[in-house]
């Protein structure tokens, strides 16, 4: 099986690019952020503080997560309910970043991710895929872009969904999540030593897509 790990900060374009690459290559696309988001959502729904470690851990035994593919698209089910849309809300982004800092949450999700990689050719995107989850992935990419560019993209994306969040607020949110994700003690966001760095700041979707495609195509085992 072939595993391609794409890590990087929020809003660098990982999921849109990885989804299209996976489609093109006939690989399974795994968005691991959706798993952390689902746990964040479950904690919010339980009325608990997502920054309270004991409260978050107490929610875990009741959480059943399942990734299913419907017409080739990943859907995440939380205790049988399709929460694929609910986890995209802004408040869930921050909740996900909080719960993702906890070792017990990360352990809770490790096996689900590795199992998918054992059974499928995959493109998996996240923060620690190349460093922790799949250290033996054949191809590792660290995809990044400046916080300002990422905030612009995210603001547009939210607008398209009818959520009018001001750019400044989105930028502050991105900076806060970057800080959480990069400075946590377990599995922080960082480039694996053997990852290829791709900066998408100056590129539109098509240009980034071709850049990534070329990087992957030239490194795929023959
Ligand atoms: O990729 P995303 O924005 O959907 O991820 C949501 C949060 O989950 C993000 O703040 C970081 C965390 N995350 C993580 O810690 N490890 C992963 N493999 C994926 C996401």
The pLDDT profile of the chain, 222 residues, written as one tens digit per residue, is 999 999 999 889 999 999 999 999 999 999 999 999 999 999 999 999 999 999 999 999 999 999 999 988 999 999 999 999 999 988 899 999 999 999 999 999 999 999 999 999 999 999 999 999 999 999 999 999 999 999 999 999 889 989 899 999 999 999 998 998 899 999 999 999 999 999 999 998 999 999 999 999 999 987
State the closest ligand 1 atom to the C-alpha of 10, by its place in the atom list counted from 1. 3
- Residue with CA at minimum distance from ligand 1 atom 11: 97
From the CB of 84, is ligand 1 less than 6 Å away? no
Is 215 in a helix, a strand, or coil? Answer: helix
Domain extent at residue 210: 3-219
Report the pLDDT value the prediction gives residue 134, as an integer from 0 to 100. Answer: 98
Is 131 a pocket residue for ligand 1 (Cβ < 6 Å)?
no
Number of domains in the chain: 1
Distance from Cα 6 to the centre of ligand 1, integer Å: 12
Residues 6+ apart with CB under 8 A from 150: 9, 10, 11, 12, 174
Ligand 1 centroid from CA 51, angstroms: 15
Instruction: Give pLDDT, residue 221.
Output: 81
Whose Cα sits closest to atom 2 in ligand 1? 33
* pLDDT the model gives residue 212: 96
Specify the ligand 1 atom closest to the Cα of 126.
Answer: 18
The CATH code of the domain that includes 215 is 3.40.50.300
pTM: 0.93
Q: Over the range 71-105, which residues count as b (16 or more CB within 10 Å of their CB) and which as e?
A: eeebebebeeeebbebbbbeebbbbbbbbbbbeeb
pLDDT at 72: 86
- pLDDT value of position 90: 81
Ligand 1 center from residue 204 Cα (angstroms):
23
How many angstroms does the Cα of residue 32 sit away from the middle of ligand 1?
7
Q: Return the ligand 1 atom nearest residue 7 CA.
A: 18
Residue nearest to atom 15 of ligand 1 (CA): 100
Contact call for residues 43 and 55 (beta carbons, < 8 A):
yes
Ligand 1 near 108 CB (within 6 A) = no
């Amino acid at each position: 099986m072939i595993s391609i790990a794409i890590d990087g900060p929020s809003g660098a374009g990982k999921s849109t690019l990885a989804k299209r690459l996976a489609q093109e290559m006939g690989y399974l696309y795994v968005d691991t952020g959706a798993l952390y988001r689902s746990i964040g959502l479950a904690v919010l729904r339980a009325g608990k503080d997502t920054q309270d470690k004991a409260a978050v851990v107490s929610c875990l035994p009741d959480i059943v997560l399942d990734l299913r593919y419907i017409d080739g698209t990943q859907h995440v089910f939380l205790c049988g309910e399709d929460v694929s849309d609910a986890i995209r809300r802004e408040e869930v982004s921050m909740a996900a970043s909080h719960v993702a800092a906890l070792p017990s949450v990360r352990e809770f999700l490790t096996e689900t991710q590795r199992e998918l990689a054992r059974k499928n050719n995959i493109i998996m995107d996240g923060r620690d895929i190349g460093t922790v989850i799949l250290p033996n992935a054949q191809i590792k990419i660290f995809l990044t872009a400046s916080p300002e560019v990422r905030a612009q993209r995210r603001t547009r994306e939210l607008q398209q969904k009818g959520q009018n969040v001001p750019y400044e607020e989105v930028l502050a949110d991105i900076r806060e999540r970057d800080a959480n994700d990069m400075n946590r003690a377990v599995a922080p966001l960082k480039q694996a030593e053997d990852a290829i760095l791709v900066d998408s700041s100056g590129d539109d979707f098509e240009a980034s897509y071709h850049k990534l495609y070329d990087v992957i195509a030239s490194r795929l085992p023959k």
